[in-house]
Structures are given as C-alpha cells and as structure tokens.
Amino acid sequence: MKRFGKMRPSGTTSAAEPYTPGEDEILHMAHIVKDYRIGEETFRALDDVTLTVKRGEFLAVLGPSGSGKTTLMNIIGCLDVPTSGDYYLSGKPVRGQREAQLAQIRNKEIGFIFQSFYLLQKQTAYENVELPLIYANMPEKQRRERVEDMLEKVGLGDKMKNFPNQLSGGQQQRVAIARAIATNPTILLADEPTGALDQKTGAQVMELFHALNNEGRTIIMITHDAKIASHASRIVRILDGKLSEGKLEDA
Amino acid sequence: MRKLIYTVRQSLRISVQNIITNKMRSFLTMLGIIIGVAAVIGLITLVQNATSSILGQFSELGAGTLSVSAPGTAMKQGLTDADLKTLMAVPGVKGVSPQVSGSTAAVYDFKVYDNVSVTGRNELYFAYNDVVESGRALNASDMSGNINVCLIDQDFRTNILKGTEAVGKTVRLNGAEYLIVGVQKQDNSLFSAYSDRSNLDGSVIIPYKNALTMSWNKNVTSLDIYVEDGASNADVEENLRETLDKIYNNTEGAYQIFNLDSLMDTMNTVSSMLSTMLGGIAGIALVVGGIGIMNMMLVSVSERTKEIGLRKALGAEPARIQTQFLLEAVILSIIGGLIGVLFGCLIALIGARLMDTPFAVSPSAIALGLGFSAAVGIIFGWAPARRASRLNPIDALRAE
Ligand SMILES: Nc1ncnc2c1ncn2[C@@H]1O[C@H](COP(=O)(O)OP(=O)(O)OP(=O)(O)O)[C@@H](O)[C@H]1O
Ligand SMILES: [Mg+2]
C-alpha cells in the first residue's frame, strides 16, 4: 500500500523563477512533471505542464484517453502531488504539505465533480451535500441552511430525502454538483462530468455549469469530448502529458 | 477543544449511521463481545454470590470464635473446670463455652423417643449466640445448681410435643425430669443443611454439667472460645496453644484448634482464584470477540475504500477517518458490552435463583465488562482505522 509520506515531492523539485501571483490568478502551475513508476521503468504522465487559470474562467482540458487528464486533475485537486514543478493555488504554494493540510485545502479550495458522481449510496441527497460542510466544521444550523440552498439551486429542493438510487443519473450528478459548490470552493473541478449521462441530461448539467460560471465561479472541466469542451470559455489540449493552449474554433 | 467535540460528534453520527445500515453484520460482530461480557459478569457474579453467601454462613457461625477439640491424653482426659477457668484467663478470650454432645432417649406423654440429641452448653453460649426463639436461655444459676432445664428445637416440638406449647412442659431425659424453659430457633445454617437429622426425633440443650453426667464423662472435650472484639483470632489461637500445651505437658495431639477465620481466608483465596480464572476464560472470549470486530472492521475498510477516498477528496483529514472508524469499532463493542451486561445479569439472576442465594450484581463486574469491551474496541479497532486513515485518496477513489 502506498503511504502518503512517499508521495510528497522529492528534492528534485526545480527551484525555478520565483512566482508572484497576479491579481486575478487563482491557479498557477509551472513545469509540472508527474512520473509514475511501474517496476523498474518510469512513465511520464505529465510532461512540463505550465498552466495559469484566472478567477471566473471556465476552462476545458480536452484530450484523448490516456493523455493524462485525470493525472492533471488529481494534481490540481491536491489529491496527488507532482514529481517536480511548482503549483500555486490561491497564491499559496502547494508543496511539502502533509496529507492533513492537503485535505483542508481540498475542502476549502476545490469542489470535485466526478464522472460517476461518487455519492454515498447509503446516505440521502441531503446527507451527501452535507458531507464537505461537516469536514469544514460548519455548525449544524448554518449547515442545514446551506445544504438546502445548494439543493434548491440545482433544482432538487424536493428530493433532499432521496437516496442516490432513488434519483436519475442527471439528478445524481446535480446532487454531486450541489455538494461540490457547498463549501464555496475556489475552483470547481469536474472530470468528465457528463461522461455517464445521455445527451439531454448532459446538456442540463452544462447549463448548470454556465449558470455557476456566470455567478463568477471558476470551473475546470476535463473531457475527451470536443462538443462538451466547447461550452467552456477557454480550452487547453493535452496529449501524451503535454499541454498546449487550444483555440475555441478547433473544438 | 470545540473543534474536537464537533469532530467526535460528527464522527459519532457517521459511525452510528454505518452501524445501522449494516445491522445484521454489526450484530454478528458484536456477538463475540456480547458472549464475552455476559460470561465475565455472569460467572464473576455467580462466584462472588456463592462465596459471599458461604462466607456469610461461616461468619454467622464463627465470627470471633475458635473451636477447640481436646480429647487429652491417657493420663488426662479432656479439660476440667479448673482448666476452663485457666482458658478463660487467657489474654483475648472473652468467653469459654463447653460443648458436650450425646444422645439419649426421651419420654413424653407416656411415649418413648429413642433418638434425641443432647448438647450440653453453658450460659455464655447463649450470651454470644442468638439461638432462643421463645422462652428463656440457660443462665448462670442453672449452671451452678445443675438444674434440670432444657431448650428444645423445632423438630422436638413437632415430633414429640406434636406442635403444642413447649415452655413449662416437662420431659424425661435419660430418666430425669427436665423442665422446658425455651425453644431454639430453626437452624438455617449451611452446616445444618448438610448434616443428616432425619433419624432424629429432636434435639435439646441442657446445662453442660448435666450433659457430662448423662454421658458418664468427667471432663469437657470440646469447646468454643469467644474472642474479644478487636483481638485477632490468630493471636488468641497462639495464646491458647501456649496454655493448652502447659495443661497437656506438650503432648502431641492432645488438642486441636479450629480457626474459622483461617478457613474463611482460604475460602476467600479460593474464590478470588476462581474469579480470576473465570475472568481469564471470559477474557479469552472477549479477545475472540475483539478479533471478530477487527475482522469486520478490516472487511468494512476494504469494502468502503471508495467511500474513504471520496471522504478524503471532500476534505476529511486522516485523523478524522481514523476517528470515525475507531469510534465505529468502539461503539460496536460498547453496544455489545451493554447487551452482554444484560445477559450477564440474567445469567447471574438465574444462577442466584437456582442456588438460592441473594441476587446482587457487583458494579465492579459491570464496570469491568464495559471497560473491557471499550478497550477491546479501541485495541482491535485501531489497526483497521489506521489502515483506513492511510489509504491514498486516488487509489481509494479508483477502487471498485
Ligand atoms: N497510478 C498509475 N501508475 C502508473 N501509470 C499510471 C497511473 N495512473 C495513470 N497512469 C498512466 O498515466 C497515463 C495517463 O493516465 P490518466 O488517467 O491521467 O489518463 P486520462 O487522460 O484521464 O484517460 P481517460 O480519458 O481514459 O480517463 C496513462 O497512460 C496511464 O496508464
Ligand atoms: Mg480519466
């Protein structure tokens, strides 16, 4: 089993040019490399990725299967740490942090939306949305209000007591979105958010994303589907671990 | 501090939710603990009740009493009146009561009863033992005057007097007229329960000198020594030995002293040994229960790997995950412990009914059972909780 201690970046991290975050930059990655060791060999899943995201942006990361999208998302979401390179979130370096601190960063800064929703099946929609608020130590009363607000916002005010298996796929994803925005995170991080949905419900989710983006929320959406990516205001392409700025028209 | 309380409360909630959603498995997991704790409480209580009731009987019988059997030597049989006076003067002795036992025939209402047990006692016996139910005890003037008076027991009243009023009647014992002056209480002691009296028509107590005469003995061979309050039985026993050695010229085997205190000490030791042993056996059951909990928790952790990964992604620190799983284990084992306490009390109650001893559960046994089960939860929940807290969130999320 992997231990967290081993995942912290090793001394190989390049001490590149010092970074001072711009006014509205909330995410900055410089020369991020992620190597996976498979036995004797190392596999470079991310190769010198540099990326800056501004507040309020709706960014799509577009790339085919195996290109390193999930790897990138894990690093952006502080679920994993890069082999080398610098990563600043909200102007603060994410480096050498212990897992406990990473967990707090995830709780405060990142709202995850997963392809297969990842709702706790034995808990109601309400309880699922409540979860990150519990980990944020929000008092009970405030939490109740917040959960109800979030579920109303995604149009599920009447389904709070439903268990995930009593909800449609689109509704489940909306619960997941309510959960992701509950702590008012800096970034919404979505990995193939429509991957498990049909076109119509996928479109509904995209509408919701637009609405959230119009509220000023920053969204990073990872997808292999150019059509879905076209909903974003900015697209970057990833191929074999290399990132390149894409044009909207390419999509 | 507030954050800690909050964390524990929320973890508690999550843990309870998880236990409830897995009712059947939770129950099966608790079974080991239930059996262990029920065994601890049931067995310990049974042993304690049994011994305390036996000890109670003993102390009723012999608190501060030493029994001396003094057959004496060929030269000097038993103890004379002068010897008794000497013993009375031994430091720490507050009373000496001879016991002369025999049996004789009794005649009442023109009928002969062959098997009547006769015990000779002095007035001190009645001063230090509460045996008189009605009428009066034998007193000093009965002794000095060798008066023919007696106390009868319940059997005597039932079998010979046919239940009629006893005090004031006369019976013929070994050919002499005896006036009944009192009736003894029913003897409920453990010893009487185990001595066979079925072929006796009844028993009487008479002044000990009369009993000596009746049995053709000159001297007393058996007596009870009453120890002064605050004096230790062992010390008095020592003093008595000195005096008796003088009386019998240091002859081996001339006398024997039975010290009920040392018997009680032995009983206590045996019972605490028994308790420890049974506790040990129950402890093994608890350990087995703990392994059950550990097993269930490990299964639970690997089953819920994805859930753990998700919780971590949503911001649960490793310590929180660990607290959650540890609490789950502890709650499981404490609930098991509580159910075990109930069953243990039930066992103790049934045992008490069967053995006809008073039912009492010692709070220490309950505390022990609950404490043990909580400890088992912590000890055996630790490793699985630790494993859960150390799961890598990405691997965990990817798990199916
Ligand atoms: N833990 C790992 N160990 C070794 N190699 C890995 C690991 N995780 C990912 N990889 C490799 O890194 C590359 C990128 O994987 P990643 O999961 O980021 O792809 P992806 O773009 O998300 O693909 P998909 O669209 O299919 O989800 C793949 O070639 C994969 O085999
Ligand atoms: Mg992927």
pLDDT tens, residue by residue, B80-130:
888 888 888 888 888 899 998 888 888 988 889 888 989 999 999 888 888
Ligand 1 pocket test, pick from A70, A74, A238 with the greatest ligand atom count within 8 Å of Cβ, gives: A70
User: Which alpha helices (H) appear in B139-259, and where do they start and end?
Assistant: 140-144, 154-159, 190-194, 208-214, 233-247
Task: Establish if B341 belongs to a structural domain.
Answer: yes
Query: Same domain, yes or no, for B394 and B309?
Result: yes
Q: Which of B310, B311, B394 sits opposite A80 (nearest CB)?
A: B394
Nearest Cα to Cα of residue A45 among A93, A83, A85, A97: A83
Domain that holds residue B12: 2-58+265-398
Residue A115 in contact with residue A225, Cβ under 8 Å?
A: no
A242 DSSP β-pair partners:
A239
Q: Give pLDDT, residue A247.
A: 62
Query: Same domain, yes or no, for B33 and B104?
Result: no
Nearest chain B CA: its distance from A246 CA (Å): 28
Round to whole Å and give the CA distance between B347 and B39.
8
Query: Same domain, yes or no, for B206 and B277?
Result: no
Q: Please state the separation of Cα B145 from the chain's center in Å.
A: 43
Query: Same domain, yes or no, for B367 and B275?
Result: yes
Is the Cβ pair B315, A108 closer than 8 Å?
A: yes
Close Cβ partners of B244 (under 8 Å, ≥ 6 residues apart): B68, B70, B87, B254, B255, B257
Task: Establish if B160 belongs to a structural domain.
Answer: yes
Helix (H) or strand (E) holding B104: strand B100-108
**Which one of B199, B219, B239 terminates a domain?**
B219
Q: Which residue has a Cα nearest atom 3 of ligand 1?
A: A36
**Range list of β-strands (E), chain A:** 25-38, 41-54, 58-62, 84-89, 92-93, 110-113, 187-191, 218-223, 234-239, 242-246
Q: Give pLDDT, residue B42.
A: 84
Rg, chain B, Cα only: 34
Chain A residues in contact with B306 (beta carbon < 8 A): 118
Q: Which residue has a Cα nearest atom 2 of ligand 1?
A: A36
Residue of B nearest to A120 (CA): B307
Four-CA torsion A106, A112, A115, A116, nearest 10 degrees: 80
- What atom of ligand 1 comes closest to residue A67's alpha carbon? 21
> What crossing angle do the helices spanning A169-182 and A140-153 adopt, rounded to 10°?
140
**Type of residue found at A251:** A
Query: Same domain, yes or no, for B383 and B270?
Result: yes
Q: Which of B45-49, B201-205, B361-365 has the highest mean pLDDT?
A: B201-205
**Which one of B189, B219, B249 terminates a domain?**
B219
**Type of residue found at A176:** A
Task: Establish if B161 belongs to a structural domain.
Answer: yes
Query: Same domain, yes or no, for B197 and B293?
Result: no
Four-CA torsion B368, B369, B375, B377, nearest 10 degrees: -170
Question: What is the per-residue pLDDT across B282-323, written as a single tens digit (0 to 9) for each?
Answer: 778 888 888 888 988 898 899 889 999 999 999 999 999 998
Task: Establish if B28 belongs to a structural domain.
Answer: yes
Cβ atoms within 10 Å of B23's Cβ, excluding its own: 9
Query: Same domain, yes or no, for B310 and B198?
Result: no
Is the Cβ pair A3, B319 closer than 8 Å?
A: no
Is the Cβ pair B392, A4 closer than 8 Å?
A: yes
Phi, psi of A58, deg, nearest 5: -120, 100
State how beta strands B65-69 and A92-93 pair: unpaired
Question: What is the per-residue pLDDT across B159-192, written as a single tens digit (0 to 9) for each?
Answer: 888 888 889 989 999 889 999 999 998 876 655 6
Q: Which residues line ligand 1 (CB under 6 A)?
A: A 36, 38, 43, 45, 63, 65-71, 224
Residue carrying structure tokens 């505390």: B367
The vertex-B200 CA angle with B195 and B201, nearest 5°, equals 145
Query: Same domain, yes or no, for B184 and B296?
Result: no
Task: Establish if B258 belongs to a structural domain.
Answer: no
Round to whole Å and give the CA distance between A119 and B10.
18
Burial of A195 (0-12, 13-18, 19+ CB in 10 A): middle
Query: Same domain, yes or no, for B206 and B115?
Result: yes
Sign (positive/negative) of CA torsion A52, A58, A63, A65? positive
Close Cβ partners of A184 (under 8 Å, ≥ 6 residues apart): none
Mean pLDDT of chain B: 85
Q: Give pLDDT, residue B62.
A: 61
Query: Same domain, yes or no, for B195 and B279?
Result: no
Nearest chain A CA: its distance from B268 CA (Å): 54
Residue B1 in contact with residue B251, Cβ under 8 Å?
A: no
Indicate the SS3 state at residue A122. coil
pTM: 0.70
A34 DSSP β-pair partners:
A46
The vertex-A134 CA angle with A133 and A135, nearest 5°, equals 90
Four-CA torsion B23, B27, B29, B35, nearest 10 degrees: 170
Q: Give pLDDT, residue A156.
A: 94
**Which one of B184, B219, B254 terminates a domain?**
B219
Encode B179-192: b = buried (16+ Cβ within 10 Å), e = exposed: ebbbbbeeeeeeee
Query: Same domain, yes or no, for B104 and B164?
Result: yes
Is the Cβ pair B21, A122 closer than 8 Å?
A: yes
DSSP type of residue B228: P
Residue carrying structure tokens 């959603």: B21
Strands of the sheet with A92-93, listed across from one edge: A41-54, A25-38, A84-89, A92-93
- Compute the distance from residue A65 Cα to the ligand 1 centre, in Å: 8
Phi, psi of B134, deg, nearest 5: -145, 165
Mean pLDDT per segment of 10 residues, for chain A of length 251 residues? Answer: 44 53 86 94 94 95 94 93 93 89 94 92 92 91 95 94 94 95 94 90 92 95 93 94 75 42
Query: Same domain, yes or no, for B280 and B384?
Result: yes
Q: Give pLDDT, residue B22.
A: 80
Q: Which of B311, B318, B391 sits opposite A100 (nearest CB)?
A: B318
What is the number of domains present in chain B? 2
Task: Establish if B185 belongs to a structural domain.
Answer: yes
- Compute the distance from residue B195 Cα to the ligand 2 centre, in Å: 88
Q: Give pLDDT, residue B194.
A: 60
Q: Choosing among B314, B389, B395, which should be mutated to test the A contact, i.e. which has the most A CBs within 10 A?
A: B314
Q: Is the pLDDT of residue B47 over 90?
A: no
